[in-house]
C-alpha cells in the first residue's frame, strides 16, 4: 500500500443559523486555506460529500463545484454521505499510483430545514419511514438500550461543550443546567447535537510529496469501513459490532491511542464507541468538543478526521484515531488511524 498522509486541514467557524452564504461561498474559504497551506493549486483528484436532502435540490453538489472554478477541468467525484467517506474514496484513488494529491471537502447547512424530518426521509421508504420514527426517536431507543446513568451522560455533554468553548470553530454553548427537560425520553434537549452550518476541507498527499508539503505529515496507517443492517430490529443497539470490526481492521489496538475524535452525536453513542474501539482512560476523547459542540451534517465526520490529524500535524500527538458514522443508530462506521512519521 502507498503511504498516504493528511497534510492540511481547514474548517469554517461554524454557526447555529443561516448567515446567508450559499454553499460555494461557504466552501471557498476553506479550500483557499488548504491551498495556501500546501502551496498546491491543482490536485490529482477531488472528492466531496454532501446531502441533496439538506439543500432541497437534486445534484446540489454540482453547484457547489463553483467554489473550485470552471477551468481547468478536474477529475472529480462525490459521495451522498458524510465527507469522511469522500476521504476514503480519495485514499483508495491515491492507491492507484498515478496521482499524488487529492482534495476532499464536505459541507452542510442544517439551519435551512427540519433535520429530524430530513433524516427520516432518508430511511427505507417501505418499512422504516412510514413508522414515523425520526432521528431522535431512534437515538432514544438506542439510549434506552445502553441504559447509562444520567450522571454519566450529563458529564459527557458538559465536557464536550466546555471543550467546544475552547475551540474557535465550534459553537459557544452553555453547560447543561441539570433541568429535567426531555426531547425524547431518555434524551434531554441538551443531549441533542446543535443545528450547525459549516464546511471543512482536507488535502491528502502520497509518497515524497507528503514530506515535501509538511514537516510532520499525519499518515493514514489504517482505515476501514463496516456496516450493519438498516433495520434496527436485526441489531443489538447497545453495541456497535460494525464499529468494533472497523477498529480491528484499521489496527486501532496495535498501539496506544493518545487522542480519539469520535462522531458521537449523542452522549450514549460515545459510550458505545469507546467500548467498540477499546479506548481506555489514557485516551483523550473529542478534545475539539466533538459533535455536541458543532455538528455540520455531512462535514462532521470529516472534521473528526481533520481534528485528529491536526494533533499529529502540530506534534501534540504521535498516534490518533478518528471515527465517522452514517445511518440510524451508528449503522455505518469508518475508522481511521493516523500516525506521525
Sequential DSSP letters for 178-222:
----EEETTEEGGGSPPP-EEEEEEEEEEHHHHHHH-SS-EEEEE
Q: Please, what is the average pLDDT of the chain?
A: 95
Rounded Cα distance between 107 and 12, Å, is 10
CA dihedral of 138, 142, 143, 147, whole degrees rounded to 10: 150
- Give the E-state strand segments of the chain in sequence order: 4-11, 45-49, 76-79, 101-109, 182-184, 187-188, 197-206, 218-227, 259-261, 284-285, 319-326, 332-339
Average pLDDT over residues 122-128: 85
Give CATH 3.40.47.10 domain extents, the chain. 4-114+195-213, 132-193+220-339
DSSP state of 129: G
pLDDT band at 184 (very low <50, low <70, confident <90, very high): very high
> What is the total residue count of the chain?
341
Average pLDDT over residues 61-76: 88
Average pLDDT over residues 148-161: 97
Instruction: Specify the pLDDT at position 183.
Output: 95
Q: What percent of the chain is modeled with pLDDT above 90?
A: 86
Question: Is the bond preceding residue 137 a cis peptide, omega within 30 degrees?
Answer: no
Q: Is 109 left (phi over 0), alpha (psi -120 to 50) or beta?
A: beta
Residue 83's closest CA among 133, 41, 26?
26
Topology annotation, domain 132-193+220-339: Peroxisomal Thiolase; Chain A, domain 1 (3.40.47)
Rounded Cα distance between 208 and 144, Å, is 50
Instruction: Specify the pLDDT at position 131.
Output: 85
What are 262's three cell numbers? 469520535
Contact 252, 278 (CB under 8 A): yes
Please return the burial class of 183, using the count of CB atoms within 10 Å of its CB with bins 0-12, 13-18 and 19+: middle
Q: Determine the angle formed by the axes of helices 300-313 and 83-95, rounding to 10 degrees.
A: 60
Instruction: Specify the pLDDT at position 327.
Output: 92
Q: Is residue 70 pLDDT above 80, yes or no?
A: no
305-320 pLDDT, tens digit per residue, is: 999 999 999 999 999 9
pLDDT band at 129 (very low <50, low <70, confident <90, very high): confident
Instruction: Specify the pLDDT at position 122.
Output: 77
Average pLDDT over residues 217-230: 96
What are 36's three cell numbers? 495556501
CATH C-level class of 4-114+195-213:
alpha beta
Residue showing cell 425524547: 184
Rounded Cα distance between 64 and 173, Å, is 29
pLDDT band at 179 (very low <50, low <70, confident <90, very high): confident
Instruction: Specify the pLDDT at position 124.
Output: 85
Instruction: Specify the pLDDT at position 132.
Output: 82
pTM: 0.97
Instruction: Specify the pLDDT at position 317.
Output: 98
DSSP state of 68: G
Instruction: Specify the pLDDT at position 138.
Output: 94
86-119 pLDDT, tens digit per residue, is: 999 999 999 999 999 999 999 999 999 999 988 8
Amino acid at each position: 500500500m502507498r503511504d498516504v498522509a493528511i497534510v492540511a486541514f481547514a474548517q469554517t467557524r461554524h454557526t447555529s443559523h443561516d448567515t446567508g452564504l450559499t454553499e460555494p461561498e461557504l466552501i471557498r474559504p476553506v479550500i483557499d486555506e488548504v491551498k495556501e497551506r500546501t502551496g498546491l493549486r491543482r490536485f490529482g483528484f477531488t472528492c466531496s460529500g454532501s446531502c441533496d436532502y439538506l439543500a432541497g435540490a437534486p445534484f446540489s453538489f454540482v453547484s457547489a463545484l463553483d467554489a473550485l472554478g470552471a477551468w481547468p477541468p478536474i477529475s472529480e467525484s462525490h459521495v451522498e454521505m458524510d465527507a469522511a467517506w469522500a476521504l476514503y474514496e480519495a485514499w483508495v484513488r491515491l492507491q492507484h499510483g498515478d496521482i499524488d494529491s487529492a482534495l476532499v471537502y464536505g459541507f452542510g447547512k442544517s439551519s435551512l430545514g427540519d433535520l429530524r424530518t430530513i433524516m427520516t426521509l432518508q430511511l427505507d421508504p417501505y418499512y422504516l419511514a412510514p413508522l414515523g420514527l425520526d432521528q431522535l426517536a431512534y437515538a432514544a431507543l438506542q439510549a434506552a438500550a445502553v441504559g447509562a446513568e444520567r450522571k454519566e451522560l450529563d458529564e459527557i455533554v458538559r465536557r464536550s461543550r466546555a471543550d467546544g468553548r475552547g475551540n474557535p470553530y465550534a459553537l459557544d454553548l452553555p453547560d447543561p443546567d441539570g433541568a429535567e427537560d426531555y426531547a425524547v425520553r431518555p434524551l434531554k434537549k441538551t443531549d441533542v447535537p446543535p443545528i450547525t452550518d459549516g464546511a471543512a476541507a482536507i488535502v491528502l498527499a502520497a509518497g515524497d510529496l507528503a514530506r515535501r508539503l509538511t514537516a510532520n505529515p499525519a499518515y493514514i496507517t489504517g482505515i476501514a469501513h463496516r456496516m450493519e443492517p438498516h433495520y434496527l430490529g436485526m441489531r443489538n443497539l447497545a453495541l456497535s459490532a460494525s464499529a468494533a470490526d472497523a477498529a480491528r481492521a484499521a489496527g486501532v489496538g496495535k498501539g496506544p491511542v493518545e487522542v480519539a475524535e469520535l462522531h458521537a452525536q449523542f452522549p450514549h453513542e460515545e459510550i458505545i464507541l469507546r467500548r467498540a474501539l477499546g479506548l481506555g482512560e489514557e485516551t483523550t476523547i473529542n478534545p475539539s468538543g466533538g459533535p455536541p459542540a458543532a455538528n455540520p451534517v455531512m462535514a462532521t465526520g470529516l472534521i473528526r478526521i481533520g481534528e485528529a490529524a491536526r494533533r499529529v500535524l502540530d506534534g501534540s500527538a504521535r498516534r490518533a484515531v478518528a471515527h465517522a458514522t452514517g445511518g440510524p443508530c451508528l449503522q455505518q462506521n469508518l475508522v481511521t488511524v493516523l500516525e506521525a512519521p
